[in-house]
Chain A
């Protein structure tokens, strides 16, 4: 909703053109011969033979895996590989053609079926990297552990030849879950990658790379990095939300209409569809999709149809030709682009797939067109090589694969992690836990000195504590509040770290739906703060790609309830990549999530528990301005994904706890440390989020009417969580209520309660009592008192389950009998 863009009713209601013209999309237009290509000077003989060689490497690699899966060995050497193997035999020309046009600075992202793409890109990078650089990459990787084994397969002095063994062995060792693998064996077949060669993660979730790759392109653009990004996706992925949302995000008009200076122009990302005709057993064309060809999708996203083309993926030269053109297009800042590369997979979805959905004749007909055999014939026809030379290449390839295979299955040289003996090893890989001021050496792009910012000036006039010097409450307009705390931390980082960007729905002029970013529009240029489409999967997915490449990012989910829209990104992608990469990747993503109230069943849910359940996410839910600023500072200083929950009930609240008010300067509150907001001796109340204030109300009543002093502890963070203060408190009081706004069933409240029971059992005077919301839909605002925990519920729960209060008449039913009844009914 930028003011700069006027929506003219004249033009909108009475357009000049009365037809939306779609550009035509080329289909299989390449028709050059090998001879013509040689004559044009595009390829040398050696180039062409290397293309043949690289395709052969892929074929043999996949053949090896297929034999291991189906016969329990390869070339008579037995091995059992229980893990997945989604093979791409048949698709070699598409993979090698894709990689040929790319530099090491160009990144590829893949799918579950990407062994061929990894090998093709790796082989191409080995070819084009200067030997010294290649050697350095290999020597530094896992401190030389991987190359040390690769050297057992090659004793010569040719760095590139060693590089090939390194690549083959590193990929195999990864697939076979060895510590010498590219990701220490933690990624496996579907997640193998090697960033020094520009190979970024493959993804076991179909279409997962569709938004992540866009984020990588965003990183390259915003941080002025060289290269383009290729999202290798299957035709089956064209049905997936993240792909469609990623295309939407990548095609935003604002790159051309609103981004300024050198930032003006489209994202350098190519959606490359490996159109192998099948989505598992479903046939995309004719059965499960209606697009005729995947290339049609381009017309839906961008006026130039993303320069989409359908090309012959059985001819590597046709693919290379297309890639040269698309790369140039992207470097002209016209992206995104779309390629539909026609290919065919011989094997089933996996070796257990008997291809019952297709005929033998169909497979045989495609095998007759085999891309390697056909390309070989063309080379012979063009006089590049004779059959014997080609046979020699295949023999050498096969021998190298076999040598590397033997090393990769050797328990001595290729050990696995011992997670039984070293039972903390993987746990310590879940977070990177680094503290880094800035992830960029560049000078941050900002529009004004911070002190000139109107919001900064406004905050300067505010009282930073809720009471003034005379102890009187400050008016809400004059009071420094929660959103000021979040703002100060974020604006500070914007001026410190050039890589930091923030986006979401309504992040710019509006200042976020809850005005946290008010004033940021004036300070931060478009390319660092912008409105995204309403596409949560893309908002989080692109942030993952951005962080993976080395940038810091704050994506915003406007309502917690929308987390479901980016479920895969939050639960499968964001938390997994640090450990799944063997700690090669960092994930400095701070996801701001606003927790609603007043807006009914789909806008008022506290889903913190869903996030705490997923290993690999840090989870914060501050309730005071001081904590919000300190925790946001810590989140932005770190390198881990943090889901940062903010309650809409609290945006306007002043600082009531920290003596002296919220400091003006920078400070961090370590994530994971709960805070005692009020001391007491008779009962402990541990709260999550905004429930803190209702607990304090309850504590007041307890003191006034029943002489009980409640100790109120604000969890502040949920993951990690240091129980020390809580256990210390429970040892003192013997009693604890754990309260929050999440629906009680299955909530993190229960997790805390169960752990406290175990940790402080002998000190408990009653079982820890959980006070969550009812297991209902959230009713409308007028009825919310019956749903969210109220101050009276605390007293009711104490009376019924902890210690009877004298002459007390409960208002809500907090009895164990009621719990059982509700459980029986599922409510």
Chain B
């Protein structure tokens, strides 16, 4: 019997994924463990392995389509077996979309029943396929659409909330839907259009003229083209997401940064001890300076719960636990995975956890739930390894603060009795949201971090 391959749900907050490439086409033979397709969420990419053996009988989507989680994607079975019944929404077109619902109790997937056929003589039934909702990450586009636009959108299977309106007050009007419907758009293309600033060509390079993400062009009349002086590279989806959230952060909060140095002699000593302990096999983690700093931050946060918080505009979410976000630089761009309940971890456990999420990010296998800015209660971003002394990190909203960790530089210090010496100092840059915290509290917290660093006691 034919088996259906669904789009896995990668974390609670993920509602849909974009297929980056189908590795198997209709007619290909597949074995268990073969990669069927690769796909990505907002921040991570995955590969779907086949759990079945057989031949690909059907594939309901194209590369770059956005597919709701749990939607049927492919059918694998013996040649000749029927597969139409698995088509999303009961439609046979490869580009048709449908909806599947999850049976919450069993975790299995069942197809939503087809809407009843309208009785003869009545008005034509609305299109069977409710347009699928393409997620606009962080999108808050206007939902106002004229009745005419809605009607046309329903006919064309277009979601008006994904269209940037050109009517009065940004209302989606008919011409916007016509433009959006000029040719079928892939899910990715729709999502990219929703970001604004792009125009779809009359016909795309996909099957049946479907417009793919790569077909979209700058909306401006004089679209950017390469010249002798520069090349034009499209921003990746992830780049655009980062851009948007960073921009939003600076637009929507009251950020400022305090900078303070911490005497690093203690943690430098601890680092030496830890290295020795690792070499001697007493511990199984390479505990870095950053790990010690994070450890100190966790301790400080427990003493300053208001810093360990989310600012929600008219209320505060004060965390009883420390979910520590940690900025990770990857080839795909900045990612900020989170370590839940970090205060329960020992220094070596913390060190290993930090390494694990960083590796997962770089591999693209991180659990998307851990990437949400809502997941962490406070974030640490370390640029010390690049020699940066101070900087002004940008808060990952709705968090109330972020600590930027700089490099260690020797600074003169009064050791008492008129004796000055160069002492290694660690640069700490605390950006906080003045809506959430006042300068005094932020400063006391920052000082506490320094104190924790200067007085950290750990036995290896």
Contact = CB atoms under 8 A, between A and B. Distances in A.
Contacts of A802: 167-168
Contacts of A803: 166-168, 173, 175
Interface in B145-168: 146-151, 166-168
A766 B151 contact: no
Interface in A749-778: 761-766
A800 interface: yes
B174 interface: yes
Given A734-B174, A765-B174, A766-B173, A804 B148 contact: no
A801 interface: yes
Contact of A763 (B148, B166, B167, B171): B148
Contacts of A804: 166-168
Contacts of B147: 761-765
B166 to A, nearest CB: 7
Contacts of B173: 734, 765-766, 803
B167 A765 contact: yes
A761 B151 CA distance: 10
A416 B168 CA distance: 54
Nearest to A798: B168
A734 B166 contact: no
Given A734-B174, A765-B174, A766-B173, A801 B148 contact: no
Nearest to B171: A766
Contacts of B167: 765-766, 802-804
A765 B150 CA distance: 9
A759 to B, nearest CB: 12
> Interface extent on B, as a size class?
10 to 19
Nearest to B154: A762
Contacts of A734: 146, 148, 173-174
The number of chain A residues touching the other chain, given as a range, is 10 to 19
Given A734-B174, A803-B173, A803-B175, A764 B166 contact: no
Interface in B168-202: 168, 171, 173-175
Interface string A291-329: 000000000000000000000000000000000000000
B124 to A, nearest CB: 13
B168 A765 contact: no
B151 A762 contact: yes
A764 B168 contact: no
A766 B150 CA distance: 12
Contacts of A801: 168
**Which one of B147, B149, B171, B175 has the greatest number of beta carbons of chain A within 10 Å?**
B147
Interface string B302-340: 000000000000000000000000000000000000000
B217 to A, nearest CB: 20
Nearest to A801: B168
A766 B146 CA distance: 6
B166 A765 contact: no
Of listed A763, A765, A766, residue having the most chain B CB within 10 A: A765
A734 B173 CA distance: 9
Contacts of B150: 762
A745 B146 CA distance: 25
A764 B148 contact: yes
Nearest to A766: B146
A804 B166 CA distance: 8
A161 to B, nearest CB: 61
Contacts of A761: 147
Nearest to B167: A803
A803 B168 CA distance: 6
B168 A763 contact: no
Interface in B133-149: 146-149
Residue of B148, B149, B150, B171 with highest tally of chain A CB at under 10 A: B148
A522 to B, nearest CB: 57
A800 B150 CA distance: 20
Contacts of B168: 766, 800-804
Contacts of A766: 146, 167-168, 171, 173
A801 B171 CA distance: 10
A342 to B, nearest CB: 70
A754 to B, nearest CB: 15
Nearest to A815: B168
Nearest to A730: B148
A756 to B, nearest CB: 12
Contacts of B175: 803
A749 B174 CA distance: 25
Nearest to B175: A803
A744 B372 CA distance: 53
A800 B168 CA distance: 6
Contacts of B166: 803-804
A704 to B, nearest CB: 20
Interface string A139-183: 000000000000000000000000000000000000000000000
A803 B165 CA distance: 10
Nearest to A799: B168
A624 B167 CA distance: 35
A800 B167 CA distance: 9
Nearest to A734: B148
B179 to A, nearest CB: 13
A364 B166 CA distance: 83
A614 B108 CA distance: 66
Nearest to B166: A804
A70 B175 CA distance: 69
Nearest to B177: A765
A757 to B, nearest CB: 9
A766 B149 CA distance: 9
Contacts of B151: 762-763
B35 to A, nearest CB: 46
A795 B171 CA distance: 18
A192 B109 CA distance: 77
A344 B302 CA distance: 101
B171 to A, nearest CB: 8
A638 B173 CA distance: 45
Contacts of B148: 734, 762-765
Contacts of A763: 147-148, 151
B454 to A, nearest CB: 60
A412 B443 CA distance: 95
A163 B171 CA distance: 73
A802 B167 CA distance: 7
B369 to A, nearest CB: 41
A734 B176 CA distance: 13
Interface string A580-593: 00000000000000
Nearest to A757: B147
A764 to B, nearest CB: 5
Interface in A761-818: 761-766, 800-804
A800 B146 CA distance: 15
B64 to A, nearest CB: 31
Contacts of A800: 168
A765 B173 CA distance: 6
Interface in A404-445: none
B408 to A, nearest CB: 57
A803 B173 CA distance: 8
A760 to B, nearest CB: 9
A764 B166 CA distance: 15
Contacts of A764: 146-148
Interface string A719-759: 00000000000000010000000000000000000000000
A181 B150 CA distance: 55
Contacts of B149: 765
B274 to A, nearest CB: 64
Interface of A: 734, 761-766, 800-804
8 contacts: A763-B147, A764-B146, A765-B167, A765-B174, A766-B167, A766-B168, A803-B166, A803-B167
Q: Which 6 A-B pairs have the closest CB atoms?
A: A765-B148, A734-B148, A765-B146, A765-B174, A762-B151, A765-B173
Given A765-B147, A766-B173, 7 more contacts: A762-B148, A762-B151, A765-B146, A766-B146, A766-B167, A802-B167, A803-B175
Interface of B: 146-151, 166-168, 171, 173-175
